[in-house]
Chains A and B, each alone.
Chain A
C-alpha cells in the first residue's frame, strides 16, 4: 500500500506492507537512519520519534498508522542553519552521550518533556526517561544535559 506522510516538514511517500514498522519505513524507505533500533522489543526507546507531536516508539507502530501524519525524527531537530538545537548542544556540552546509540531517542524524549514541562525537576526528568535506556552513561550526564537545556541552574546531581 502507498503511505504518504510529512517527515520533518517535507511531504514523503512510499510503498509499505501492512507489517512495515514506522521505524523500518523511516530507515529503509526514506533512508533516515538517525532513528535507531536498539531492541526491537519496545523496551529501549532508541527509536523514539514524534507523530503528530506525540512521542512514540517507531518500532512499535505500523507505518500504515502514520499515513497522513506529521512525523519528526532526530534529523528534523537541528536549527534551520544546520547547527545543533538547544537540547542537542546541551548533550554535547554536558557529555550526555558516550556511544551515542540511545541519543536520538533521548533527544526526542527530552524535546517532548520540555514542551509539556519547560522547567522539570531532576526527579521529573528521570521519571520521564523511564522508557529510554542507555547502556553507557549511567544517565547522570543525560539528566544534566536536559536540565541545562531547560535553562535551569544545574543542581548538584545525586551521586556525582
Chain B
C-alpha cells in the first residue's frame, strides 16, 4: 500500500476542511477502500476518517421517514431498524459477514456505488434521498452508473432518508466467494406505488425495473410479473453468470421478494 497521511477529525467541519486538500479522500469503514489500496489501485495523499464524528452516526425516525447518518455501520443498522423497517434491517444483516458489518458503513457503500452493492437497491426502490454536506439528492439522480455518483470532489454522504414502506423484502442471490449479491432485488410496497430496485445485474449499475413497478402497483402478487421479461442487452456477463442468466434472476428474485412481502 502506498503511504498516506491519516487524519481523524472530531467534527464534520474539520473533516470537510481536511477534505479540501488535494488528494485527500474520505475513509469510513475501509471495507472497500483498504482492499483496493492494498492492490495499489488507489493513492490518496491523506485519508480523512469519518468514524470519529458523533454527528455522522445514528438512526432516527420522523413522519414515517427513516434517517440513517452516513457513518452508521451495517451492524448498527441491523439492530436499529429491526422494528421500524425490517426489510432494510434484513438487507443490512446479509451484507458480507459479521466483521464486515461491524466496520462498513452505509455512507461508504452508497458513495462507492459498487454495481453489486446492496443498499443502492433499497435506496432506489424506496426513492430515498441521499443527504450530503451540501445538498439533498434523489436516489434516481444520485446513482449515475457503476462506481459513479452525483457526488462532487470533497462532497460526502452525511446520511440517507428512506420513506418507510408498508412492507418490503430483499432477495440477495449470493455469489458465495465474494459474499456480494450476484444479483439482488429490493421490493418496497407503499400505499400508492411499488418500488423495485435491482443491483448486481446491469452494466449501468443499480436501476429501477419500471415495468414491474407498474404491474405490481396494479396487482401486488408474483403473478403480476409473469408475462414481463427483462432484456439481457445491458446485463453484466462474467464468469459467475451470463447476461441472460442475470436477466432471468431479476425476474425470479422480484417474484420471490413479492411472495415474501
Contact = CB atoms under 8 A, between A and B. Distances in A.
Interface of A: 1, 17-19, 21, 40-43, 45, 48, 54-57, 59-62, 64-65, 67, 109, 112-113, 128, 130-132
Contacts of B35: 41-42, 60
B51 interface: yes
Contacts of A64: 6, 8, 49
Interface stretch (B97-105, B144-152, B153-161, B189-197): B97-105
Given A42-B31, A60-B30, A62-B30, A131 B97 contact: yes
Given A42-B31, A60-B34, A60-B35, A131 B99 contact: yes
Contact of B179 (A54, A109, A128, A130): A130
B34 A130 contact: no
A53 B98 CA distance: 13
B30 A48 contact: no
B34 A61 contact: yes
Contacts of B5: 18
B2 A19 contact: yes
Contacts of B8: 64-65, 67
Interface in B1-25: 1-6, 8
A15 to B, nearest CB: 13
A45 B99 contact: yes
Majority SS at the chain A contact face = mixed
Contacts of B47: 18, 62
A42 to B, nearest CB: 5
Interface string B223-257: 00000000000000000000000000000000000
